[in-house]
Amino acid sequence: MEYHDWRDDIKTRYSGDYGELRVSNLQKAETAKLNSSGLALKFVHYGTEEYYVDNQLVKINSGDLLILQKDEAYLAQVPTESITQGLCIDLSERLLDEVPTALQDDTEPLPQLDMNLAVFPGSINRLAPLLSSIATTGPGETFAMEERMNQLHSDYRDFISPYKKEAQALPFKKANTKKEIFSRLLRAQAFIHDNLCYQFKLKELADACCISEYHFLRLFKHFFGCTPSAYLEKIRMEKARSLIEQSEQPLKEIAYQTGYTDQQYFSRRFKKQFGQPPSQIRKTVVS
């Protein structure tokens, strides 16, 4: 296979104490053979990119985040003749290892679990707004770029630490097994976030992760601290409250958007979650 030289398509936007940032603007369906030089965050600002790591295909769309380890060989390609802009950020490992003692005297080191092929879809990627702001920072805005790269190190630790601790605690001896199960559970989490209106069946979630229903239920509860149905309702309620507080949509429409066809049942579940019915929350916001 012939590989495309992307050096003309990928521009270094920042290189300094916080690592290195490269921005790619691609329009061709071509493949490049690359290597990560540090802990690498692959973020798609818009479009679609595909990566082959350890002979596994990983597709990331707008808002998605892929994490690769240092010195990881991979293939990257744009699957179609469409405009795609992506970020490759090699974070400074020295800064990631520093303990922010001024803020957290009891900060513990992150568990040493390889996060390779950890994909965080846009629906669960809390770093997406910051990464998008980095993507739109101009080449001459050095001060703003350093501020945002500095913030990324802090936000990355906060974002990834709970995942790594829970992944490390998965009841498997082999690190590769933990990595694989962790990746599959992330798929289930993203599937729930992306389909709040859908009436789930346990088997569908388990099948999406290629895990038996019995083991999926046990592992999901172990990792997220609750059953899939409890997690789904929690996310639905959080979405509903956000819509109530930030929009003027009728409560019946909000109930429907978050997977509840019966508005009275929705109101009862909402009150149980937040201590007030949705109508009272709406009145409080309006006043």
pLDDT of residue 102: 35
Domain closes at, from 114, 138, 169: 169
Q: State yes or no: pLDDT of 224 exceeds 50.
A: yes
Please name every residue paired with 57 in a beta bridge, in sequence order, or none if there are none.
52
* Statement to judge: residues 154 and 56 lie in one domain: yes
Is position 133 within any domain? yes
CA nearest neighbour of 194 among 122, 276, 268, 266? 122
* Statement to judge: residues 154 and 196 lie in one domain: no
Residue 68: φ, ψ to 5°: -120, 150
* Statement to judge: residues 68 and 133 lie in one domain: yes
Q: Which two structure tokens, joined as six digits, stand for 183?
A: 């990746």
Q: For residue 253, what are the domain limits?
A: 183-286
Is position 174 within any domain? no
Cβ atoms of 240 and 269 closer than 8 Å: no
CATH of the domain at 194: 1.10.10.60
The number of distinct structural domains making up the chain is 2
CATH of the domain at 143: 2.60.120.10
Cβ atoms of 235 and 192 closer than 8 Å: yes
Tell me the one-letter amino acid at 62: S
pLDDT tens digits, one per residue of 34-76: 777 778 888 999 888 888 877 777 788 889 998 887 777 777 8
DSSP assigned state of 6: G
Model-level pTM? Answer: 0.69
pLDDT tens digits, one per residue of 106-154: 343 333 444 556 788 887 889 999 999 999 888 888 899 999 999 998 8
pLDDT of residue 228: 92
* Statement to judge: residues 153 and 201 lie in one domain: no
Q: How far is CA 254 from the centre of its chain?
A: 25
pLDDT tens digits, one per residue of 228-274: 999 999 999 999 998 998 888 999 999 999 999 999 999 999 999 99
* Statement to judge: residues 80 and 47 lie in one domain: yes
Q: Which two structure tokens, joined as six digits, stand for 251?
A: 């409560």
* Statement to judge: residues 137 and 32 lie in one domain: yes
Domain closes at, from 169, 193, 224: 169
Average pLDDT, the chain: 81
* Statement to judge: residues 165 and 192 lie in one domain: no
* Statement to judge: residues 84 and 157 lie in one domain: yes
